[in-house]
């Protein structure tokens, strides 16, 4: 005779959802004290909520003490499932809003870093257009690496992503928005800084003699450096880390011209033969191809297209 086992959790309640939202904030803030301001409740209340959730799940989710806050392996898994669950709840709420023919709920937008200084990027203008159309929608703007944005859009964590184009996927839809130019830079203490001042000519092959800092995930940066056979001696995971590696004087690296401008003006770095060592990068907004985007997401996509229409 087969023995039926009872589910460890049973049915989810509104309180469970509330506790999971607290847990998500604690993880993303890096601890209970840090989450106090985010949640607008006292640290002792936050701690009690986490204990209640652990009791409810029958799991130890985190360690807290003098060593600081850290998730257990079970906590890592519950956090990943929490993101999936809450994104589903938000999607459900958005669908209900659509049935009522109004735009409400939350919209999570993820942007690749250092785009705000690009004069061709008008994401702020798109947000202003959208806010006027949908004042009841709660906007959440995230900055993340390219691969994290793609993954987040696919799993529902973000509804819209804005990324540099590097490959296409049938599971995503793409809208062209704006471009930026990437130049090769060296720090003030780099041997090529003096050479650049004297305009000593170089070619791609000559660059292989110098240590190069590149992005550590698939991107136009990685594609180009593989094509011209530059070997990565240091790895960064956002533009700021690449800039810091360049500033050390030990590495060459590519940066957007609009972001590097202030460093160049302060004499901290210099473009190396910009007429030779450059590439163009196009940015796209991405949404999931299926299921069909909510009315809120479609409205924001339309605002992005309108704000960047002169670039196309």
Question: Which CATH number does the domain 14-81 belong to among 1.10.10.10, 3.40.50.880, 3.40.50.1100, 3.40.50.300?
Answer: 1.10.10.10
| 8 Å CB contact between 99 and 292 | no
The whole-number pLDDT of residue 197 equals: 54
Q: Which of 10, 77, 22, 92 is CA-nearest to residue 53?
A: 22
Residue appearing with tokens 């079970």:
74
Closest by CA position to 78, among listed 61, 96, 55, 92: 61
Per-residue pLDDT, 7: 54
The whole-angstrom separation of Cα 116 and Cα 101 is 33
pLDDT of residue 292: 84
Asked if 54 and 60 touch (Cβ cutoff 8 Å), the reply is yes
Residue 79 Cα distances to 72, 83, 107, 188, angstroms:
10, 6, 20, 43
Specify the CATH architecture of the domain 104-312. 3-Layer(aba) Sandwich (3.40)
**Taking the domains of the chain in order of start, what are their residue ranges?**
14-81, 104-312
Measured between alpha carbons, how far is 185 from 193 in angstroms, rounded to an integer?
A: 9
pLDDT of residue 66: 72
Mean pLDDT, 10 residues at a time, the chain of 312 residues:
56 87 89 83 89 91 80 92 86 73 85 94 96 93 92 92 91 95 95 69 89 91 89 93 97 97 95 93 94 90 95 63
Tell me the whole-structure pTM to 2 decimals.
Answer: 0.70
Q: What distance in Å separates the CA atoms of residue 252 and residue 233, rounded to the nearest whole number? A: 10
How far is Cα 113 from Cα 240, in angstroms, rounded to an integer? 8
């Amino acid at each position: 005779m087969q023995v039926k086992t009872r589910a460890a959790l049973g049915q989810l309640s509104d309180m469970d959802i509330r506790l999971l939202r607290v847990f998500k904030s604690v993880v993303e803030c890096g601890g209970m004290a840090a989450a106090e301001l985010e949640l607008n409740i006292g640290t002792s209340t936050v701690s009690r909520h986490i204990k209640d959730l652990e009791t409810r799940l029958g799991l130890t989710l985190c360690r807290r003490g003098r060593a600081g806050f850290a998730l257990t392996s079970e906590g890592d898994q519950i956090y990943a499932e929490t993101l999936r669950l809450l994104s589903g709840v938000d999607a459900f709420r958005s669908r209900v809003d659509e049935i009522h023919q109004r735009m409400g709920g939350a919209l999570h937008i993820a942007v690749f870093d250092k785009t705000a200084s690009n004069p061709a990027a008008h994401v702020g203008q798109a947000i202003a257009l959208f806010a006027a159309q949908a004042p009841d929608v709660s906007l959440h703007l995230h900055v993340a690496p390219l691969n994290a944005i793609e993954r987040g859009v696919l799993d529902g964590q973000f509804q819209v992503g804005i990324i540099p184009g590097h490959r296409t996927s049938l599971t995503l839809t793409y809208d062209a928005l704006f471009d930026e130019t990437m130049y090769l830079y060296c720090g003030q203490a780099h041997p090529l800084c003096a050479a650049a001042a004297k305009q000593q000519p170089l070619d791609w092959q000559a660059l292989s003699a110098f240590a190069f800092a590149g992005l550590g995930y698939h991107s136009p940066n990685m594609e180009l450096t593989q094509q011209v056979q530059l070997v990565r001696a240091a790895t960064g995971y956002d533009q700021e880390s690449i800039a810091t590696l360049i500033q050390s004087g030990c590495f060459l690296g590519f940066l957007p011209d609009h972001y590097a401008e202030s460093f160049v003006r302060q004499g901290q770095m210099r473009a190396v033969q910009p007429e030779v060592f450059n590439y163009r990068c196009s940015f796209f907004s991405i949404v999931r191809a299926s299921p069909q985007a909510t009315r809120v997401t479609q409205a924001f996509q339309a605002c992005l297209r309108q704000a960047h229409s002169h670039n196309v």
